[in-house]
Structure formats: structure tokens, C-alpha cells
Amino acid sequence: MADATSTKNTRSGTKNNRGPKAPPETSDGSHAKPNGAAAKNGAPAKNGAAAKNGAAATKAAAAAPAPVRQLFGTDGIRGTANEWPITPELALGLGKAVAHVAGRNTPKAHVPRILIGKDTRLSGYMIEQAIAAGICSMGARVILCGPIPTPAVAQLTVSMRADAGIVISASHNPYQDNGIKIFGADGFKLADAMEAEIEQLMSNDALLGLRPTGPGIGKASRLDDAGGRYVVFAKATFPRGLTLDGVRIVVDGAHGAAYKVAPLVFAELGANVTSIGVKPNGVNINKDAGALHPDKVRAEVVKQGAQIGIALDGDADRLIVIDEKGQIVDGDVVMAMCATRMLDDGQLAKRTLVATVMSNLGLERAMHSRGGTLVRTQVGDRYVVEAMRKHGYNLGGEQSGHLIFLEHASTGDGIVAALQVLAIMVRTGRPLSELAKEAMERVPQVLENVTLPKRQPLEKMKQLATATGKVKDALGQEGRVLIRWSGTEPKLRIMLEGPNEDRLRKWAKDLAAAAQKDARG
């Protein structure tokens, strides 16, 4: 699927309109206005011009206001399964819209092919079948991959020359939730403008044209070896000449999408693998397991005398690493380790690492001390990838464990990231705890999440603004304050960094209280 022009909405609604009854809130807390017509972005690009499309889209985004999206957030569409917007009705409409966009710039003889992968949630069956029905109704072909990691869908979309890939997953959320995200034919997540256009098509069937009948209706098939193909791909990112012979690893699959493939990748490279979190039942994904709940893998690492623990999340696009002492090594430290190695080997493009505003100040200082640069983006691995593609960088990620090695993968991949850490351990022969300690010195950081009755623009929260100003004045150049709305949950996120953790905690509570006062009016 390539970036394409937006289509004007020729009528306000139809009997199939699934748009919201009232404008929802955007990721920064402001209210989105009804989107009568999408911005015009020029002529559609053909498949195969991925790099040009990415550069053009970034340039256009800088020159024009961002398109208004009412359904898609920072990581696709997400919510409680079987409640709007994660309903089979919406999924049907999304399938039709994606098939329409995927097929309109291809030769008439070409039947668009769209992959669908999912995690292990019970609701995945419902959403999968609805999306597949929508795709087939537009005459396109569906390739069902079953439970596989999100990055596997991106990789298979490219390797199979498919026109798009769709992932059904709510990542780290509990099983009651689900989500939908889309990859283009180039394996990258869609640009905001494309997602806005898909929303328009979903809200107005008339824009999709006539549906095929008879032999023109699409068909679905299952790719039985989807997991095996991904295992082969992942292993190929581990340096040739190295093995994991004798390395003891504990892998926590979070009862999610990687429950089969993750243990296989490490075992086939020679590791002695202990697997936990690999018994999904549809309702236990992420439950007391995986990257969000690493206590079990920490204990198992110590119990087994393992050199490393690898905790994935529900769709395996991120990880938390555990050292041999059972200590957590988060995404910032992993990025520092990998960036340092790549700097020493002359492999870090433009000597630059890309991270988000949430990454610890210690990571920035570590890069500068080694003659490198840290570039920050807004929160969301998609924005890290956009910056990497625009400027030619090859390593980036988030503190939460989304790590992108662009020479290997087009999106965050927890398994590939783990293999890069293991390669450093094998080459140096040093324990992970030592490597992590050397990589960076963390600045005390405090995070506070506040759930409020409703979102509102931060600039209108006067009590919060006043309190924030006082904290910034007190910190000066020794720390940072970051306040933002979550892109996937109704929460205000407060982050403070500075030399004194006790003072940071007090200030975080003060800011949370100020936000609550604003919410009460």
C-alpha cells in the first residue's frame, strides 16, 4: 500500500457511517473537529517507491497541518473489544477501506494481497474474520498468519510482496482490549495522512465504488509456516560466526504472539532456553507476565543461573532485558549499549541515536561523552522511525523497550533487539550487568500517571501550568519536566528528571494534584 491522495467526502454520512457521534479527543488532549475533507497531498505514489514516499510524506507533514484522525492514535486503533471502536462492524469497514487503497494503484490483472496477523486474545478471532470479510468483499486476497509478532507481519508483508499487512493486537494492554494497526507494502506503519484517508473511506461506502460479484469476490488462505519464516528472518540478524552455545536464557513470552517463535529463535542458535509465559488461553495475555510484569522472569533468571532474561510484551514489538543478577535493564540502557558498540565499530549512521522525549537524560549525556548525538522525537515508535528514515539514521527506540535496528527491521522488534544485546555479550565475554553499568549513568527520573474524567488541552489547565513553571524554575538546567496525554489511554503522564529523587517525587505529586484541580474546574 503506497501513500495516496485523500478523497473528498461527498456526503455527510450514510447508513453504514461508523464515525463518532461527537468529536473525540486527540492524543494531546484537544478535541478533533469533524473531518469534512482530508487535505490534498498530491498524486498517489506507486508501490516500490517506499523511500521517496517516506521523504515526501515527512516534508509535506512539516509544511501543512497534520491530518485529523478520529480513530487512529499513536499505535493504530485501540479499545475494549466488542465496544466501539473495536467492533466487528468497524473492522469490516476497515478491511474494505484498506483493500480499496491497496488495489487502486495496481495493474488491473493484479489481485491485491493483504496479510493479517494477530496476538493470542480471545477477541482476535472475531476481529480477524471481520477484517477478512471486508477485504474479500472488495475482491482482494487475504493471507491469514495466525498468532505471530507484530514485526513478523511487517517483515512478511515485504518478503511476500504483499500490498499491506494488518496486525490485530493491543500490545501490552490486558486481554479485554484489542487493536488494529496497518503496515504498507514497504513494511512501515502508515503515515498520518494515509490513516486519515482510510478513516474517511470507512465512514462513506460510496467512496469505495462498486463491489465485485461472482468470481471477482476475494478469497482467504492460511499461511501455515508464517512463524517458521519469521524464525529464519530473526536468526539471520544475529552475526554470522557467532553462536549462543552454552548461553542460558530465560524467555517470557507474555502468553502472547511470540509464545512459539521466541524460544525457537534462541534455541536454534544454540542457547539453553527456559521458557515461561508460553501457555496462552485467550484471556491471560500480559497477565502477570512479560515486559510489563517482569518479576517472574527476574526470579527465574536467578533460579536458573541464567546470563540473561528476555521479557516480551503481548505482540513482541518491545522487550525488557534482565541481567544475570535479576536486575532490569530498560530500553535506554540497551540503546546506550548498542549505540556504543556501533560507534566503536563505525556502524552508527551519522553517529546519531534517535529516542523520544521520555528517554533519560543520562542517555543523552552518554552519547555526548562518546562523541555521538541524541535526537529526540515525540512519544511513539512510529515517530522514531519517521525521524530515522528522514535523516538516514539506523538506530532508535524508546525507554519502554521499542528498539528499531533499521538495517534489520522496519519497526520495533523485541526478539531482534535481544539478539543484538546477546551478540555484544558473546563478543565481549562480559556479564550483562557490567555492560549495562558502563553504558550510561541514569539521572533520577520519576513518572506519575493521573487518570482524569476527561481530556483537555494542556494550555487550558492553568493550575497545572503554574505548578509546572515553579518546578522548572527550581530544576534549572539540572533536570527536565515533561507532561503529556497518553496516546492510547485516558491518562495524563508526568515525568520529572533531576538530581534529587525525593524532591522529584514530591513535585510529581504536586503536579498531579494541580491537574486534578483543573479537572474539577
Alpha helix (H) residue ranges in 29-87 = 50-63
Q: What are the strands of the beta sheet with 248-252, ordered from one edge?
A: 272-276, 248-252, 308-312, 319-322, 328-329
- DSSP 3-state of 447: strand
Q: How many alpha carbons lie under 13 Å from residue 373 in its C-beta half-sphere?
A: 8
Handedness of CA 100, 104, 108, 109 (dihedral sign): negative
Catalytic annotation present for 410: no
Q: Is 291 exposed, middle or buried (0-12, 13-18, 19+ CB in 10 A)?
A: buried
Q: Which of 123, 169, 171, 275 is catalytic?
A: 171
- DSSP 3-state of 310: strand
Q: How many alpha carbons lie under 13 Å from residue 96 in its C-beta half-sphere?
A: 23
User: Quick check: 308 and 421 in contact, CB under 8 A?
Assistant: yes
Backbone angles phi, psi at 319, to 5 degrees: -150, 160
- DSSP 3-state of 114: strand
Give the separation between CA 437 and CA 333, rounded to whole angstroms.
Answer: 8
Nearest to 254 by CA among 286, 299, 281, 296: 286
User: Quick check: 328 and 309 in contact, CB under 8 A?
Assistant: no
Nearest to 324 by CA among 336, 309, 335, 338: 309
Angle between helices 150-159 and 226-236 in degrees, nearest 10: 90
Instruction: Kindly list the catalytic residues.
Output: 171
